[in-house]
Amino acid sequence: MIMIIITIMIIIMIIIIIIIIMIIIIIIIIIMIIITIIIIITIIIIITIIIITITIIIIISKVNIQPLLLASCLFFAVFGSVRGANGTVPLVLWHGMGDSCCNPLSMGAVKKMVEIKIPGIYVLSLEIGKTVVEDTENGFFMNVNDQVSLVCDTLARDPQLKEGYNAMGFSQGGQFLRAVAQRCPSPPMRNLISIGGQHQGVYGLPNCPGQSSHICDWIRKMLNSGAYTGLVQNHLVQAQYWHDPLNEELYRNHSLFLADINQERVLNESYKKNLQALRSFVMVKFLRDSMVEPIDSEWFGFYKPGQAKETETLQESVLYKEDRLGLQALDKAGKLVFLSSDGDHLQFTDAWFNANILPYLH
C-alpha cells in the first residue's frame, strides 16, 4: 500500500517537473522569437536610413558644387554625432564673393564638417551685415577697409576667441583675413589659411561663382571703365583688389585696400610685425581655377610689372626680396605653406581637406 502511494507521488512529481520544464522552454522560445523580431526590425530601420541618406546624397550632388564635402557631412550627421570634450582652437571663417556666412551648401557645410571632425570646436562664420542678403551684397559693395574693421571689432568682442583662433578665408575672404592678421593683433590669430585667396589681387574676372553672373558682367564693366576712380574704389569690393600690371603706379596710388596691405605706398612696420606672429600662413592654389586671373595670385605671385603675360613667383617679387611685409622671414622660418588642389575655384574633396587642412585647425 505504502509502496503504491509512494510510486504514485513520484509519478505525480515527475509529471509536475516535466510540465514546469515545458513551460520554461515555451517561455524561452517566446523570448527568443521576440528578440529575433526586434533584431529584424532594427536591421530594416538601419537599411532604410542608409537608403534615404544615399538618395539624398545623390539628389544633392547633382546640383552641388562640392558633392563629396557635403556627402560626408550628411553621412556623419546621421551616424557620427558625437560631441566630446574640447581644448580645441576656435576657427573663424570668411566667405567668398557671392556667398554668405551661412549658405548650407558652402560655409554652412564647411562649418558642420569641421565641427564633426573636431568635436567641441567653436566655429564662427563671419556675417558682414545683419542678414544673409546684406552679407552677400556687402561682398560686392561694401568698402573692404570698413569690413575689416567691423570684423576686428566682432573678433575682439567675442569672449570665446580671447585665447586666440585659427582663420580660414575662402577666395577674397583669404586676403581680407590677412588684413585682419596685419591690422588687428588682438585676439591673436594662430594659423591663417587662405583657400584660393588673391594676395596680389586680380587682373580679370573671367567667371563668377553661382548665381551672380549678371552682377559679375556689370562689375567687369565697372572695373574696365575705371577701377581706380574714387567712386568705383569706394563702392566696389573687387576694385579694391584690382591690380593692373600695365599701370602699377596708378594701382599703387589709388588702390584703397590691396596696395595698403601689401605695403605698396608706405611701409607700416606693425603690419610686418603682426604677420610674423602667425604660426603659419597657408596658401591654397587651385590648379584649374577659372575664376581668378592670374592664378599665381593665390600663392602671392603676379604678372611681372608692365605686361600681363609673364608671371613671377612671390620669391621673385620686390615685395619678397626687400621683405617689405616679412614674407621672406616667414618663409625662411618655414611658416609659409604652399598647397594646391587639382580643381576649379574652391573645389576640393573631403580626403584632400583631411590630409592638407585639418592639421592646421588643431
Ligand X SMILES: *[C@@H]1O[C@H](CO)[C@@H](O)[C@H](O)[C@H]1NC(C)=O
Q: Could you give the CA distance from residue 52 to residue 33 in angstroms, rounded to a whole number?
A: 29
Q: Are 251 and 227 in contact (CB under 8 A)?
A: no
Q: Is the CB of 86 or the CB of 213 nearer to ligand X?
A: 86
Q: Tell me the pairing of strands 302-303 and 189-195.
A: unpaired
- Peptide bond preceding 67: is omega within 30 degrees of 0, i.e. cis? no
Instruction: Select which of 99, 244, 289, 350 is catalytic.
Output: 289
Q: Is 260 an annotated catalytic residue?
A: no
For residue 221, give every residue at least 6 positions away whose Cβ sits within 8 Å of its Cβ, in sequence order, or none: none
Q: Is the CB of 55 or the CB of 160 nearer to ligand X?
A: 160
Question: CB atoms < 10 A from the CB of 42, how many?
Answer: 10
To which residue does cell 575664376 refer? 291
Residues in the chain: 362
Q: Is the CB of 6 or the CB of 250 nearer to ligand X?
A: 250
Q: Could you give the CA distance from residue 326 to residue 335 in angstroms, rounded to a whole number?
A: 11
Q: Is the CB of 57 or the CB of 107 nearer to ligand X?
A: 107
Residue among 64, 141, 142 nearest 103 (CA): 64
- Peptide bond preceding 187: is omega within 30 degrees of 0, i.e. cis? yes
Cell of 294: 592670374
Instruction: Select which of 72, 100, 125, 171 is catalytic.
Output: 171
Q: Are 317 and 294 in contact (CB under 8 A)?
A: no
Shortest Å distance, C-beta 31 to ligand X: 43
Shortest Å distance, C-beta 87 to ligand X: 6
Shortest Å distance, C-beta 89 to ligand X: 8
Angle at alpha carbon of residue 39, lines to 34 and 40, rounded to 5°: 95
Q: Is the CB of 244 or the CB of 289 nearer to ligand X?
A: 244
Q: Is the CB of 253 or the CB of 313 nearer to ligand X?
A: 253
Q: Residue numbers of the site for ligand X (CB under 6 A)?
A: 86, 88, 120, 122, 160, 183, 249-250, 253, 266, 268, 270
Shortest Å distance, C-beta 214 to ligand X: 32
Q: Is the CB of 7 or the CB of 253 nearer to ligand X?
A: 253
Q: Tell me the pairing of strands 336-341 and 280-286.
A: parallel
Q: Tell me the pairing of strands 302-303 and 311-312.
A: antiparallel
C-beta pairs of 299-308 under 8 Å, 24+ apart in sequence: 299/199, 299/338, 300/199, 300/200, 300/327, 301/200, 302/200, 302/201, 302/243, 302/245, 303/203, 303/245, 304/245, 305/245, 305/248, 306/245, 306/246, 306/248, 307/245, 307/246, 308/203, 308/245, 308/246
Q: Is 344 an annotated catalytic residue?
A: no
Q: Could you give the CA distance from residue 279 to residue 336 in angstroms, rounded to a whole number?
A: 9
Q: Is 289 an annotated catalytic residue?
A: yes
- Could you give the residue numbers annotated as active site? 171, 289, 345
